[in-house]
Chains A and B, each alone.
Chain A
Amino acid sequence: MGWIWDTVAIGPMVNILIVLTQYLFSSFGLAIIALTVVANLLMYPLTKRQLGSTRAMQTMQPKLAELQKKYAKDKQKLAQEQMSLYKEAGINPAGCVVPMLIQMPIWFALYQSIIRLLGDAPESLIDLARFLYSWPLVHTAIPLGNGFLWLNLAQPDVTMILPILVGGSMWVQQKMVTPSTVDPKQKQQGQMMLWMMPIMFGIFAMQFPSGLALFWFISTLIRIIIQYFMTGWGNLLPQPARPVVEGKGPSPELVRSDAKEVAKKEEKISYEASGGKRQDRGGSYPKRPGAARRKPR
């Protein structure tokens, strides 16, 4: 199995990275950036599908919340109703998972290839030799230069700039997709999701070779750009929270943050429901049949 993985995944990536380095001013850093961009572009259809599914799931959440309230005690019925809802809306609940599963081996291959090329111990080079194709260019290119901007790609970034960029960019991406809410429970869980991965990867970036941190940063940056073009800044910019709707009252679609608009809508509903008669807001005398009206003095 390892041999298959090395032949199908690692070998091509390693050789492509070396060739790119040679053509990009002998800069391994530029080669990492270039291959990360190319890999993201090739996987764009999958990424687009994944983001689309995620967004569709988010818009379904109010209706799913209603169903969960309604069938809280009947899990089987709940599952049935949920599936019906997905079917009506044409959404595949696993739609965001399948593209991710397809992409993961590609990311791991790119990841492992960068690792192998960053190794600077003799054992690393000896191990690297078995992946090289017979192209003359790849044999004479080794060892690759490890310098890129202020970085030694084989060592962690001691200036902390790259770890901060890694963590910060991940936070931005998470923030763009995390929906706002006033429900305390959801808010807490959302906050945990928002901060956990950026902090974790920021810490990784402090310890691992900066070539890997560069790869993470560029990957996240590309996803932010793709996300922006698909869904805008999302929840990155400040937005009022949407209340969770319970029981009676206006349907979720009518909930608006603007109270005046809510009032206008409610008035319109009430007017129509009363057959066109305006609500008596007070200030007039009730009329009695035959009652005389006093003449003014």
Chain B
Amino acid sequence: MRYGKGRLLAFIGLLLVVVVLLGGCTRTTLAGGGSAAVVDNGTLYIGSQHGELLVINAQGGRLWSVTLEQPAQSNFLGCSAAASPVAVYSTPVLDGDMVYVTGYDGRLRVYREGIEQGRYPAGETASVGGIVGGLQLAHGNIYFGTSKGEVIALDTGNLVAGTGDLVEKWQFDAGERVWSAPVVAGDTVYVTSMNGRLYALDADTGVEKWRFEDAEGAIVSSPVIYEGKVYFGSFDRYFYAVNADTGQLAWRSSLQAERWFWANPLVLDGTVYAGAMDGRVYVFNAANGESRAVVDLGAPLVSAPVLSGDSVIFATEKGDLWALDTAQYQASEFPASITGKVHASLSLSDGVIYIHTQDPDILYSVRADTGVNIWNVPLSSK
């Protein structure tokens, strides 16, 4: 085939178009992060989408911030890329004036007034695998799960005393990604895994006490302990209650959601409120799993709700805020205007709800009684 110059140029042009299209279509969704806020005495601690740990006052003013960066890595040509920000998914945890924060780069960092006090694992390039679920601080230890399927307990004693760094106490192999936050009740750590299992581990040694593996789908939501039972939803679209001492199934919901249970449930006054990605809130009797109501909020529910007075406040993925009355299970929409996706859990303090959106990366504050916007602050300075 004779290739004229024109045809060759056209071919090169077509190839470039294909390259651009493929380039635009070949990236898997990047880890963006965006944690919930933890509030302490009117001060908010939050991880932004651009890898910053931000400390903000109750009026939205920035007090201090620190950028979590992962070191420069060589690409396949041996060229070094610049240090890149770390996606932060888990809500920071406070212990006195220490702030514990984990990143998707697989590291836990500890700060005091913006200065790093310690990290795990040690070393510039060491990583335990992306950390998505939250942290739990109890018994002088900090517990978290990783994308490599491990549950890790670190002793914080030396760090708190200022005599050393975090020390690994134990590691447990859960078999598949752990994207939920461990929950500690008494001397037991409860943790769910994406292989559909709920584990009960000894908080001091990490030895498995029992496991529940009847769920057929992955479990991403953190378990909730209430009156001797462990509650969680699964990707098989059922909701479960398991005996916290024996690991035996207490009940499984008779209703099946149309999409996954992703958000953490809320349990109070004998009632379970579980939001699913089909946009519905499933309300169950906590004792026997009897369905009390199904309330359609119109968009996927990914973030954990909060309780405000007599209402459970939900945020849908597209930013609508709803107040679900706990007496009649009637939902009313808040007038607040929220732009962006809501994946991070809601936070509530002193009558103010804090909502962190992705794309754009903004922190909103909304009055819990009226649902009216107070202020909003862009969190990414880049």
A residues touching B (Cβ–Cβ < 8 Å)? 57-58, 61, 64-65, 108, 111-112, 115-116, 118-127, 129-130, 132, 134, 136, 139-140, 142-143, 154, 156, 178-179, 186, 189-190, 192-193, 196-197, 200, 204, 206-209, 212
Closest Cβ–Cβ distance, residue A234 to chain B (whole Å): 12
| CA–CA, A61 and B8, complex, Å | 16
User: Which residue of B is nearest A155, CB measured?
Assistant: B28
| CA–CA, A37 and B130, complex, Å | 34
Q: Tell me whether A115 and B27 are in contact (CB under 8 A).
A: yes
Q: Tell me whether B25 and A190 are in contact (CB under 8 A).
A: no
25 contacts between A and B (CB under 8 A): A57-B1, A58-B1, A111-B25, A112-B25, A115-B25, A115-B26, A115-B28, A121-B31, A121-B87, A126-B300, A126-B343, A129-B277, A129-B300, A132-B259, A139-B235, A139-B236, A139-B237, A140-B218, A143-B177, A154-B28, A178-B1, A179-B1, A193-B11, A196-B15, A204-B22
Bitwise, B13-38 to A at CB < 8 A (1) or not (0) is 00100010110011111111000000
What's the tally of chain B residues with a CB closer than 8 Å to chain A?
Answer: 48
Which of chain A's residues have a CB closer than 8 A to the CB of B11? 193
Question: Contact partner of B3 among A115, A118, A186, CB < 8 A?
Answer: A186
Closest Cβ–Cβ distance, residue B28 to chain A (whole Å): 4
B322 at the interface (CB under 8 A from A): no
Q: Tell me whether A126 and B31 are in contact (CB under 8 A).
A: no
Which of B21, B26, B76, B179 neighbours the largest number of chain A CB atoms within 10 Å of its CB? B26
Given A140-B217, A190-B3, A207-B75, 12 more A-B residue pairs with CB atoms under 8 Å apart are A111-B25, A112-B25, A121-B28, A122-B89, A123-B30, A126-B302, A136-B236, A139-B236, A139-B259, A139-B260, A142-B218, A143-B218
User: Which residue of A is nearest B343, CB measured?
Assistant: A126
Which of chain B's residues have a CB closer than 8 A to the CB of A118? 28
B258 at the interface (CB under 8 A from A): yes
Given A140-B235, A143-B177, A193-B11, A119-B260 contact (CB < 8 Å): no
Question: Contact partner of A121 among B19, B32, B216, B258, CB < 8 A?
Answer: B32
| CA–CA, A130 and B279, complex, Å | 11
B2 at the interface (CB under 8 A from A): yes
Q: Tell me whether A186 and B235 are in contact (CB under 8 A).
A: no
| CA–CA, A193 and B237, complex, Å | 52
Which of chain B's residues have a CB closer than 8 A to the CB of A200? 15, 19
Question: Contact partner of A189 among B8, B21, B132, CB < 8 A?
Answer: B8
User: Which residues 318-357 of B sit at the A interface, judged by CB distance below 8 A?
Assistant: 343
B147 at the interface (CB under 8 A from A): yes
Which of chain B's residues have a CB closer than 8 A to the CB of A196? 12, 15
Closest Cβ–Cβ distance, residue B151 to chain A (whole Å): 18
Closest Cβ–Cβ distance, residue B284 to chain A (whole Å): 20
Which of chain A's residues have a CB closer than 8 A to the CB of B2? 61, 64-65, 186
Which of chain A's residues have a CB closer than 8 A to the CB of B30? 121, 123
User: Which residues 212-234 of B sit at the A interface, judged by CB distance below 8 A?
Assistant: 216-218, 220
Closest Cβ–Cβ distance, residue B10 to chain A (whole Å): 11
State the total of A-B contacts with C-beta under 8 angstroms. 107
Which of chain A's residues have a CB closer than 8 A to the CB of B8? 189, 192-193
| CA–CA, A124 and B260, complex, Å | 14
B194 at the interface (CB under 8 A from A): yes
B144 at the interface (CB under 8 A from A): no
| CA–CA, A297 and B179, complex, Å | 119
| CA–CA, A209 and B26, complex, Å | 8
Which of chain B's residues have a CB closer than 8 A to the CB of A207? 75-76
User: Which residue of B is nearest A163, CB measured?
Assistant: B76
| CA–CA, A139 and B46, complex, Å | 32
Q: Tell me whether A120 and B147 are in contact (CB under 8 A).
A: yes
User: Which residue of A is nearest B12, CB measured?
Assistant: A196
B190 at the interface (CB under 8 A from A): no
Closest Cβ–Cβ distance, residue B153 to chain A (whole Å): 23
B45 at the interface (CB under 8 A from A): no
Which of chain B's residues have a CB closer than 8 A to the CB of A193? 3, 8, 11
Q: Tell me whether A140 and B1 are in contact (CB under 8 A).
A: no
Q: Tell me whether A140 and B216 are in contact (CB under 8 A).
A: yes
User: Which residues 168-227 of B sit at the A interface, judged by CB distance below 8 A?
Assistant: 176-177, 179, 194, 196, 216-218, 220
User: Which residue of B is nearest A119, CB measured?
Assistant: B28
| CA–CA, A285 and B176, complex, Å | 102
* Top-9 shortest CB links A-B: A119-B28, A121-B31, A189-B3, A124-B29, A140-B217, A123-B29, A140-B216, A119-B29, A208-B26
B143 at the interface (CB under 8 A from A): no
Closest Cβ–Cβ distance, residue A261 to chain B (whole Å): 26
Given A139-B260, A143-B218, A207-B76, A122-B31 contact (CB < 8 Å): yes
Given A129-B300, A139-B237, A143-B218, A108-B29 contact (CB < 8 Å): no
Closest Cβ–Cβ distance, residue B77 to chain A (whole Å): 9
Q: Tell me whether A122 and B236 are in contact (CB under 8 A).
A: no
B282 at the interface (CB under 8 A from A): no
B314 at the interface (CB under 8 A from A): no
Closest Cβ–Cβ distance, residue B111 to chain A (whole Å): 24
Closest Cβ–Cβ distance, residue A112 to chain B (whole Å): 6
B364 at the interface (CB under 8 A from A): no
Q: Tell me whether B235 and A142 are in contact (CB under 8 A).
A: yes
Which of chain B's residues have a CB closer than 8 A to the CB of A111? 22, 25-26
Q: Tell me whether A129 and B259 are in contact (CB under 8 A).
A: yes
B262 at the interface (CB under 8 A from A): yes
User: Which residue of A is nearest B278, CB measured?
Assistant: A129
| CA–CA, A111 and B29, complex, Å | 14
| CA–CA, A51 and B41, complex, Å | 72
Given A126-B343, A186-B2, A139-B22 contact (CB < 8 Å): no
User: Which residue of A is nearest B194, CB measured?
Assistant: A143
Q: Tell me whether B25 and A108 are in contact (CB under 8 A).
A: yes
User: Which residue of A is nearest B234, CB measured?
Assistant: A140
User: Which residues 101-143 of B sit at the A interface, judged by CB distance below 8 A?
Assistant: 104, 130, 132
Which of chain A's residues have a CB closer than 8 A to the CB of B259? 129, 132, 139
Closest Cβ–Cβ distance, residue A121 to chain B (whole Å): 4
User: Which residues 25-64 of B sit at the A interface, judged by CB distance below 8 A?
Assistant: 25-32
Bitwise, B245-286 to A at CB < 8 A (1) or not (0) is 000000000000011101000000000000001000000000
